[in-house]
Amino acid sequence: MVFPVFSAKQMPARIRVSLGALTAFLIAPTLPPFSLDGYTFWQVVGTMVMELINGLAIGFVSRMAFMCLDIAGNIIATELGLNLASDVNPLSGVRTEVPGMVLFYLAAMLFLVLDMHHYLLAALLKGYEVLPVGSGMLSRAVLNDVIGHTSRLFAVAVQIAAPMMAVSFIVMLVFSLLGRAVSQISSFFESFAFRVLAGLFVFGITLNLMSQHISAYLRRLPDDVMRITQLLAS
């Protein structure tokens, strides 16, 4: 339901359910037996709810990289004036600006090429050694860690969008000076085309730099998953 890339809305529900069942089928035999002797019906329900909460917390952390790119895409679109050009993001199912879609597909490709889906599954399996079935607790440490990840999310988004922000600022500054020198020029209207053109050019030549930022963030995902698992166990 929350695994990056594979939880995309456009992926058929049967495939997602089948992948979830296959993952459970492969992981369950490796886990120690968990006895429900003496458990009441509501205790069983409580255990299932706790496992669901643990999975959602871990999945939320693993999806933060793609949330970061959505924010970066919105910043870039705002700076370049591309807010009206939008499409449906397959991961979230909501409309997203075109720069955000380009970054999403770039991150999805890097996610699969770097084998991060395998590393995340390995971290999930190892997480059961730290956080056995039936245990786990939401605490202040978990909340602080999630907030820390969120703050880093905004920092990485600004780093990715920084070149386009700088170009937009320079273009607006130049046309503002021209507007002061020649009052007949509408600096805002005349600068729009130059902002789009210069911004798209810089966006294209800095894709390599963006991919480095995205790859560095993706490589931290298994460690982030293990950290939130350890905090839930403590």
In sequence order, what DSSP letters do the residues of 79-121 get, joined into one string?
Answer: HHT-TT-EEE-TTT-SEEEHHHHHHHHHHHHHHHHTTHHHHHH
- Taking the C-alpha atoms of residue 131 and residue 230, their distance in angstroms, rounded to an integer, is 7
Burial label for 125, CB within 10 Å (0-12, 13-18, 19+), is: middle
pTM: 0.74
Confidence band (pLDDT; 50, 70, 90) for 90? low
- For the chain, give the number of residues: 234
95 alpha-carbon distance from chain centroid: 16
Contact 120, 222 (CB under 8 A): yes
- Taking the C-alpha atoms of residue 134 and residue 195, their distance in angstroms, rounded to an integer, is 55
Structure-model confidence comparison of residues 90 and 191, the more confident one: 191
Confidence band (pLDDT; 50, 70, 90) for 115? confident
Which residue do the tokens 């997480």 mark? 127
Model pLDDT, residue 92: 57
Model pLDDT, residue 89: 57
Model pLDDT, residue 88: 57
- Where are any strands of DSSP class E within the chain? 86-88, 95-97
Mean pLDDT for the stretch of residues 77-87: 69
Confidence band (pLDDT; 50, 70, 90) for 55? confident
Rg (C-alpha) for the chain, rounded Å, is 22
Q: Which of 225, 229, 169 shows the shortest CA–CA distance to 202? A: 169
